Structure 1
Amino acid sequence: MAFSTEELATYESILDAYIERNRPPAEIRDKVDLSYRIERQSVVIFEIRPSMFRPGEKIEEAVAKTTYVRTTNHWRVFWQRADLKWYGYEPDPIVQELPEFLRLVEEDEYNCFYG
């Protein structure tokens, strides 16, 4: 089930603030930028870069993902490995609130999200 209108507005506000805090300087955003997408119960944070193989096109490179589990009222945290599959983030695969997930991504203590 997708987020309610109220939940969506709250999460978008939190995510917009995160993106503004972590975006690269305006003068290099044509080379690398940061954004997010909400897909049903999941949030994916990704970088936007020019394609090396298709000049003029942009590609999205996933940074981190979290999925809200309504039945247990928590967020599952994932990182993407080189095989492009999502894996549960250890040691904190579950957080209670979206800002906790964003804090994990910002700190990136184990270099899983930004490498």
Structure 2
Amino acid sequence: MAFSVLELKRWERDLDAFLARRRPPPSIRNELDVGYRIDKQSIEIVEIRPDWHDPGTMHERPFARITYVRSGSYWKLYWMRASLKWHSYEPQATTRHLSEALDAIDRDDYCCFFG
């Protein structure tokens, strides 16, 4: 089941605050940027870069996924390994609030998200 309109508005506020902290300076955003996309019960944080051969084409590469488990009212945090498979982020695999998951990504204690 997808997020409700009220949930989307609440979580977009948290996501926008996260992006305000993590986006690169405006002068280089056409070469590297950070964004998000929402699909059903998951939010993916993506890196946005132009294609090497066609700079007019932008590519989004997800590096973090936060999935809401409605039955338990908690969020699960994942990171993408070099194998392109999602793995649970063990230092803080679940949180009660989206903002806590975004803070874990921002801190990046194990250098899984930003290197």
* TM bracket, shorter-chain basis: over 0.9
Residue in 2 that maps onto 1:104 = 104
What does residue 7 of structure 2 align with? 7
CA deviations on 1:7-44 (whole Å, 9 max, x unpaired) are 01101111112112211000000110110011111110
Q: Distance in 2 between matches of 1:70 and 1:84?
A: 26
Distance in 1 (CA, whole Å) between partners of 2:30 and 2:88 is 31
- TM-score norm. by structure 2 comes to 0.95
Instruction: Tell me the matched-pair count.
Output: 115
**Distance in 2 (alpha carbons) for counterparts of 1:112 and 1:21:** 18
CA distance in 1, matches of 2:21, 2:38: 19
Q: Report what 1:46 is aligned to.
A: 46
Give the match for residue 20 of structure 1.
20
Looking at structure 2, the residues matched to 92 and 102 of structure 1 have their Cα atoms a distance apart, in angstroms, of 11
The 4+ residue runs of structure 1 with deviation greater than 4 A are: none
Instruction: Give the drift of 1:53.
Output: 3.7
Extract unaligned runs of 5+ from structure 2: none
Q: Secondary structure at the match of 1:91?
A: helix
Task: Indicate the residue corresponding to 2:61 in structure 1.
Answer: 61
Percent of aligned pairs sharing the same letter: 46
TM-score (norm 1): 0.95
